Amino acid sequence: MSIYMTAPDDYLSWVLGETYYSPNEEQIDKYFIVSLSGGKDSTALLLKLLEHDILIHEVVYVDVGKEFPEMIQHIKKLKKIVEAAEIKFTILKPEKNFRYWLGEHIKTKGKNIGKKGYGWPDFRNRWCTSQMKIETLKKYYLNLINNKNTVEFVGYAADEIERINNNKDKRIKEYSLVNFDMTEKAALEYCYSKGFDWNGLYEKFNRASCYLCPLSRLSELKYVFENYPHLWLEMRMLDDMSFRDFRSDYTLKELEKKFINEFYEDMWGRKQLKLNFLEEG
């Protein structure tokens, strides 16, 4: 359900000679929250709302603890401008961390009862999204909804309408990027134009999600391996705790071998690679 907070006020826009947004009758007495993931779409949403001085009471961000260093800096930068606009900026942390859910949580039901940890997430079992992000947000919003009449701004882009249609929960939401007709591509360009570039993260990654995500593209994982060795080392530790392989096509160790081989192949060429390894063998 949407109440079109981002539909301009026709009359005031006409009087002022510029697009003007103000709460309409339906919007009075509501508490407006922005759900911020830190990615390009929700960042564009937040910046756009600030640009048009659209009423926001609070910005909420869930910190899963596995964000790239560039994303941590990006969130700090956004927090600063949000707080300078006298808007509350809330950082939520899940009650239990990634390591707990991956390797320590004791299952209490299902066929794996008594077993430890969910293991690495995969396409069918994204426990990190459900247990850490969605549940944390749900709990926080439930508390807010009990006390306030909330409306949540969600950063789905204009070319992601199917995500809006799939949304099943009952919270009142506002999809302003759709009202602004802003696609994913336009959202990224808009963020860049406002000076938010994640220090180049989006040039390497399709989505600026967790650095250890097994659902990332192979090229993205290779970039992590080559550029963030300390983060990769942590993935090795978690891998030892996981009952499930990192991915169905490659284990973490197989990926390392693949990336190292590719490194030497790029340097020497395939033929020389074989010769060098044969000589060493």
- Interaction site with ligand SF4 (CB under 6 A): 64, 66, 121, 126, 128-129, 209-210, 213, 215
Do the Cβ atoms of 234 and 241 come closer than 8 Å?
Answer: no
Q: Which is nearer to ligand SF4, 140 or 264 (CB)?
A: 140
The 3-state secondary structure of the chain, one letter per residue: CCCCCCCCCHHHHHHHCCCCCCCCHHHCCCEEEEEECCCHHHHHHHHHHHHCCCCCCEEEEECCCCCCHHHHHHHHHHHHHHHHCCCEEEEECCCCCHHHHHHHCECCCCCCCCCECCCCCCCCCCHHHHHHHHHHHHHHHHHHHHHCCEEEECCCCCCCHHHHHCCCCCCCEECHHHHCCCCHHHHHHHHHHCCCCHHHHHHHCCCCCCCCCCCCCHHHHHHHHHHCHHHHHHHHHHHHHCCCCCCCCCCHHHHHHHHHHHHHHHHHCHHHHHHHHHHHC
Question: Which residues are 33's β-sheet partners?
Answer: 58, 152
Q: Which is nearer to ligand SF4, 121 or 155 (CB)?
A: 121
Q: Nearest approach, Cβ of 137 to ligand SF4 (angstroms)?
A: 12
Structure tokens at 215: 């659902």
Q: Nearest approach, Cβ of 217 to ligand SF4 (angstroms)?
A: 12
Q: Nearest approach, Cβ of 138 to ligand SF4 (angstroms)?
A: 15
Q: Nearest approach, Cβ of 139 to ligand SF4 (angstroms)?
A: 17
| 159 CB-near residues (< 8 Å, 6+ apart) | 183, 184
Q: Nearest approach, Cβ of 212 to ligand SF4 (angstroms)?
A: 6
Q: Nearest approach, Cβ of 149 to ligand SF4 (angstroms)?
A: 30
Which among 27, 22, 28 is positioned nearest to 10, based on CA atoms? 22
Q: Nearest approach, Cβ of 168 to ligand SF4 (angstroms)?
A: 19
Q: Nearest approach, Cβ of 213 to ligand SF4 (angstroms)?
A: 3
C-alpha span between 276 and 279 (Å, rounded):
5
Q: Which is nearer to ligand SF4, 30 or 66 (CB)?
A: 66
Q: Which is nearer to ligand SF4, 35 or 209 (CB)?
A: 209
